[in-house]
Every structure is written in structure tokens, then in C-alpha cells.
Amino acid sequence: MTRPDNREASHLRAMHCSLGQLNRADGSAQFTAQNTSVVCGVFGPVEAKVYEEKLDRAVVEVKFRSDIGSSTTKDKWVESAIRSTFEREILAHQHPRTLVQINIQLRESDGSVDSAAINATSLALVDAGIPLKSMISAATCAVLSDDVVVVDPTQEEIDAARSVHTFAFANPVSDSNKQGPLYVDSRGNFTMDEYNHCYDLCVLAAERVLAFMRTAIEGKVTKEAKINTT
């Protein structure tokens, strides 16, 4: 079986990320997997509006903008997915009566957008120095009509797929058998066996994504340390 981009079924697309590109945001990151690219800018902790502030913790607000068209309920759906994933991973109690604003802009979409958005958000939050319980990484896989399971599907593969599964895990991902996933969205027509198979594949993929994100952060931190010492 060959995939449209000649990848192996279990291979992720080449990832690329850069941190701190937006100079006015407190933290930012761009996460790219070939033709899927997401930019995330984080502001926070900043002053919350009086009517939304919480006395004991920070409020997390997520704004998602699609690459084309105006804001739709689809974007609201992604916002709610990301908010529910990060709301409790952010140590909000350390910053009561403040707001953490997460702005996500989709630059290019070619499948696996939800997981790319989660990965970009995770990187941007780290870049902004927002205290997190753990880093979150996400992965998507799809069951094609001939029962082949592919990791990190492109839009073409998603359109032809029988079911699509997106999982997000907290770090360490290897704990996920006990801890379970942070976020799941499995859709289509599938059995529990297929779900479990996709789960296992996504655990491995999320682990690789996390390792990649770590190197990116390490790279940035060592670079900054060098500048500070010279």
C-alpha cells in the first residue's frame, strides 16, 4: 500500500517548529507537519475582565481561527476541545484573578489539524512560561477503507477514511495506559478493536511528537543561555 506522499503507514510527516516568532506575544509557537501548519500565540497571565475573573484561579480562554472563511461553529468546537484539554493542565491556581489567552491561527490545513493545534498550544504555553502540570502532545490516525491504519493522515486520506481518531496525552505518554487519554475524538464507523489499535499507534506517535517538541525547547533554551553568558 502506498500513501499519497509515499510514507509508511506508521510514519509521521516531517515536523518543524519554531518558538517565539511573535514578538508581542508572551509566548508563541508554530507547529508544522508538512502542509498542516498552526501558529499559536499566548498572552498571560494578564488582567481578566471583571465579569469573567475567577477568585481562585486563572481563566483560560481559547480563540481559534481557521485558515479560510470567517469564524464558524466549527471553530468554536475546536476551541472547546482545546480548552477542555488544557484547562486543568495549566496550574491556574498559581495565578488567581488573571486570564491566560490562547490564540490559534491555522495557516495551512492538510489533515490532522486538531492534533497540530494541540501541539502548537502546548509549545506556546511552555514558551510563555505558563506553569503546566505536564506537556501535552497529540496525534491523529485514520482507518482507511481497506482496514489499513495510517498515522498522521493528510486531508486526502481523511476524506477517504472509514474512521478518524485523535488522541491527546499528558506527559509521560507511557503512563497513558493507566492514566488514559486527556482528549479523544474518534469518529466514523469503527469497532472497539480498531479503537484500541489506533490508541496504541497514537501513543507511540504522541511520544515521538513530544520528544521532538522537547528538542525544540531545549534548542531555544540553550541558545538563550549562550546569549546571556556572553
Partner 1 sequence: MVETGQAAAAVAMQTFERIHPVEFQRRFLGQNTRHTGREFNQFRALKVIKGAISTAQGSATVRLGNTTVVCGIKAEVCEPDVKRPTAGYLTTNVELSPMCSARFRAGAPSDEAQVASEHIYRLSMHLLDLTSLCIESGKAAWSLSADIVCLKHDGNVVDAAVIALVAAIEDLRLPRAEFDSATGVVSADKEALGHVDVKKRLFPATFVLVDDLCVVADADDAEEQMATASLLVVMDGEGKLVNLWKRGAGVISREAVEQCVERARERMSEIAKVLD
Site residues (vs partner 1, CB under 8 A): 73-74, 76-77, 79-81, 84-89, 176-192, 195, 199
Q: Decide whether 43 or 86 has the Cβ nearer to partner 1.
A: 86
Q: Which residue, among 218, 227, 176, has the nearest Cα to 199 in the 3D structure?
A: 176
Residue whose CB is less far from partner 1, 195 or 212: 195
Closest CA to 104 of 87, 84, 119, 126: 119
The distance of closest approach from Cβ of residue 180 to partner 1 in the complex, given in angstroms and rounded to an integer, is 5
What order of strands is seen across the sheet that includes strand 59-65?
15-19, 27-33, 36-47, 98-108, 59-65
Instruction: Give least dist CB 181 to partner 1, A.
Output: 7
3-state DSSP assignment of residue 76: helix
Nearer to partner 1, 94 or 191 (CB): 191
Q: How far is the CB of 5 from partner 1 (least distance, A)?
A: 24
Contact 172, 136 (CB under 8 A): no
Instruction: Provide the minimum distance between the beta carbon of 46 and partner 1 in the complex, in angstroms, as a whole number.
Output: 20
As a whole number of angstroms, the distance between CA 121 and CA 44 comes to 13
Give the neighbor-by-neighbor strand order of the sheet with 136-143: 149-151, 136-143, 163-170
Q: How far is the CB of 220 from partner 1 (least distance, A)?
A: 26
Closer residue to partner 1 (CB): 90 or 120: 90
Residue of 83, 85, 120 whose CA lies nearest to 105 = 120
Rounded CA separation 93/90 (Å): 9
C-beta of 31 vs 183, nearer to partner 1:
183
